[in-house]
């Protein structure tokens, strides 16, 4: 595992506050990576990885494999990548990110629209032009793009709507 502590400081008065984050990068095997209480960037890469962040606004990328990503407290960004991944955002307004409908069928365990969670979809990778191309089955929690399931909202939130819960970027 490669770990880097990165400190960014602006050049003078009036600059944004100092931001410190740690970056963790897994290897080709099955990694288990525990982040810090800073704002972390955690990359699992290949293998079936388990990534844990702690407090902070963290970025977690699973990579290839069937990964498990835990965002915990903070406004986190979770992208499982290729494979059937399990995503847990925890407390905070989390972004669950998907680049293509062919990456696998992920499970989001704790989606909450009222908490500020959103599903972020790469409109180029999906070929999407509107959130009306997505369908949600509230009985199963399955979310589809043009008939292809790409995620299950395990807690089957009653307040989920494709027009409000999905952001196209």
| pTM > 0.75 | yes
Using one digit for the tens of pLDDT, what is the confidence trace for 99-122? 999 999 999 999 999 999 999 999
State the residue for tokens 């079936």: 48
- Residue 1 in this model has a pLDDT that exceeds 50: no
Distance from C-alpha of 91 to C-alpha of 112, rounded to nearest angstrom: 10
Using one digit for the tens of pLDDT, what is the confidence trace for 66-98? 999 999 999 999 999 999 999 999 999 999 999
Measured on CA atoms in the order 145, 151, 154, 159, is the torsion positive or negative? negative
Q: What angle do CA 14, 16, 19 make, to 5 degrees?
A: 145
| 142-145, strands of its sheet edge to edge | 32-34, 50-52, 68-70, 86-88, 106-108, 148-153, 142-145, 134-137
**What is the pLDDT confidence band of residue 22, given thresholds at 50, 70 and 90?**
confident
- Residue 54 in this model has a pLDDT that exceeds 90: no
Per the prediction, the chain carries an average pLDDT of 90
% of the chain residues with pLDDT over 70: 88
């Amino acid at each position: 595992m490669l770990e880097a502590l990165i400190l960014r400081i602006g050049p003078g008065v009036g600059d944004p506050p100092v931001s410190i984050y740690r970056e963790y990068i897994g290897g080709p095997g099955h990694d288990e990576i525990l982040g810090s209480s800073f704002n972390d960037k955690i990359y699992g890469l290949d293998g079936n990885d388990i990534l844990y962040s702690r407090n902070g606004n963290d970025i977690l990328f699973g990579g290839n494999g069937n990964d498990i990503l835990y965002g915990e407290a903070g406004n986190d960004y979770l992208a499982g990548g290729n494979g059937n991944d399990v995503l847990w955002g925890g407390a905070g307004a989390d972004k669950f990110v998907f680049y293509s409908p062919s990456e696998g069928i992920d499970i989001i365990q704790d989606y909450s629209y009222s908490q500020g969670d959103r599903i972020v979809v790469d409109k180029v990778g999906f070929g999407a032009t509107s959130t009306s191309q997505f369908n949600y089955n509230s009985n199963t929690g399955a979310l589809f793009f043009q008939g292809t399931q790409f995620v299950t909202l395990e807690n089957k939130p009653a307040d989920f709507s494709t027009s409000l819960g999905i952001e196209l970027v």
